[in-house]
Amino acid sequence: MLIFGFHIKTSSHLHHCHSSTMVRIPEVKLSSGGKPMPRIGVGTAVFPFASSEAMRATILRSIELGYRHFDTAAIYQSEEPLGAAIADALRAGAIRSRDELFITSKLWCSDAHPHLVLPALQKTLRNLQLEYLDLYLVHWPVSTRPGKYELPPAKEDLLPIDMSAVWRAMEECHALGLTRSIGVSNFSSKKLETLLSIAKIPPAVNQGNKVEVNPLWQQQKLREFCVAKGIQVCAYSPLGAKGTHWGQNWVMDCGVLEDIAAAKGKTLAQICLRWVYEQGDCVLVKSFNEERMVENLDILDWELSEEEKHEIGQIPQRKGFPGLDFVSDDAPYKSTAELSSSSSSMARMPEVRLSSGGKPMPRIGMGTAVFPFASSEAMRAAILRSIELGYRHFDTAALYQSEEPLGAAIADALRAGAIRSRDELFITSKLWCSDAHPHLVLPALQKTLRNLQLEYLDLYLVHWPVSTRPGKYVLPPAKEDLLPIDMSAVWRAMEECHALGLTRSIGVSNFSSKKLETLLSIAKIPPAVNQVLIIQPNEMHDLISDMVG
């Protein structure tokens, strides 16, 4: 690892101005063998856009303070001010050569077409008044209609990207010496895996909002993948991008981080930046305030304790930028799960229409019955990952102790942008035997909805054609608690739940054809579904015999 030194004033010296302190910013070698990348850089993405003069002055002051790594992009409208600031710095003697700087820019989606990559880079170099970049990135794994530089892009302009051909064009730019290294931005591990399978020159860096990294979105799995493949992570939004259209206040309002900052005599921003730095990532900072520019560099001569790192590791995770700008029903990516997947053609599960006229049911669903019961956190994580993979049908029950984790996972998926609406999901739950009494059906469903944090179910089932003594959620039920079910009255209560809009469809579970025949003779709304065990272990036959008779 190479390092270089420069002089800045620490935050305390800004107030006391007694002396200056040498700060040494480490650099990291990239797999491409290009120039090492300084691990603290200056981002230039500001929305709404800053004036060219303000951006130019800020970058020049950053160079004077010792920053050497600058990140821009065609979409940011900051390439020309950055180029002007570099020229200013050379004239002023703040740097002796452009080679002292590490400059990154990015290929915007409207230029992510094979024949446009080289012209786009050449335009970027003209804007920057440079002969080469140190790093050129594919901004998103998405193409848009050529000629438009818009963020967010219009949904009708979203197009599938020919990643293989685009990457070949990036490799050609590298071969021409126009960029020392090439990489990507906003790529998931699956997108990276696909790219690595076709690349002659593997991406040296993965940066961007999909690589949003901060204590509230820690990206451990993506980082582990990148480290294993020799791809350097460059963390964006280390403070949560507060003030942008995609950002949130969650990071800067986090009580855990506030407490650690107070205990260490640091700012909350410094705690975040130091945490990202200790993960091995490069980090991009951004400020037009000189005191904060200096403060952002003052993270190198102290460490977080193991206890503090453990506390940060326990912070509940919340993704700030879901990527919804790049998904649409009519676009190559229908959801952020598809945007993250290895191809834009995530399998769309066939659905079947129900007789009740409710929402069609996906024909492959995820069950949540686990005995002995799984931990809530394990269940929640498994369901969230299932949603990200494309599952949309989830089956739970009052008995399974999985309603609350399922509800939490749905909330997680909405926050993360894996789904845009609860309406994308098909959620089933079931009335347990101890609530299979006419006066308990509605309260039981209302409790289920509270557990799930939902306003309605897509399907509510009578779990067994059996009642048990109220108040006990036990499987198998005690023999002495088994009671005859008043199926007619219980079904009327189920129909009332349907009429109230609390469930879109109603049905049954574990009903034989004879039991169904009896129910059909009394039902105003026939059951839309009968959920049954198709392959049953021998011990389940005994349980069914005991309960159904």
Whether 158 contacts 140, CB under 8 Å: no
* Rg value, the chain, Cα: 29
Percentages helix, strand, coil for the chain, rounded to the nearest 5? Answer: 40, 15, 40
Tokens representing 499 are 């009429």
410 is written with which tokens? 């749905």
Helix (H, G, I), strand (E, B) or coil at 197: helix
Contact between 271 and 257 (Cβ < 8 Å): yes
Give the residue numbers marked as catalytic: 76
The strand pair at 232-236 and 282-285 is best described as parallel
Q: Which residue, among 133, 141, 115, 114, has the nearest Cα to 174 in the 3D structure?
A: 133
Q: Name residue 4's beta-bridge partners.
A: 25
Residue 205 CB partners (closer than 8 Å, separation 6+): 30, 37, 104, 135, 137, 181, 183, 184, 231, 232, 233, 234, 282
Concatenate the DSSP letters of all residues of 338-352 into one string. HHHSSSS-PPPPPEE
How would DSSP label each residue in 309-332?
HHHHHTSPP--S---GGG--TTSS
The tokens 């005994």 sit on which residue? 542
Structure token digits, residue 308: 């503090």
Separation between Cα atoms, residue 433 and residue 520, nearest integer Å? 20
Instruction: Using alpha carbons, list the distances in angstroms from residue 405 to 7, 8, 286, 382, 447.
Output: 52, 50, 38, 10, 14
CA distance 361 to 530: 13
C-alpha closest to that of 201 among 423, 34, 9, 390: 34
What separation in angstroms does the CA of 114 have from each of 105, 167, 438? 17, 8, 66
Find, among 452, 58, 366, 449, the residue nearest to 70 by Cα.
Answer: 58
CA 124, 127, 130, 131 torsion-angle sign: positive
CA-closest candidate to residue 385, choices 362, 404, 366 = 366
Q: Do residues 445 and 456 make contact, with C-beta atoms less than 8 angstroms apart? A: no
Question: Hey, what are 96's tokens?
Answer: 């002796």
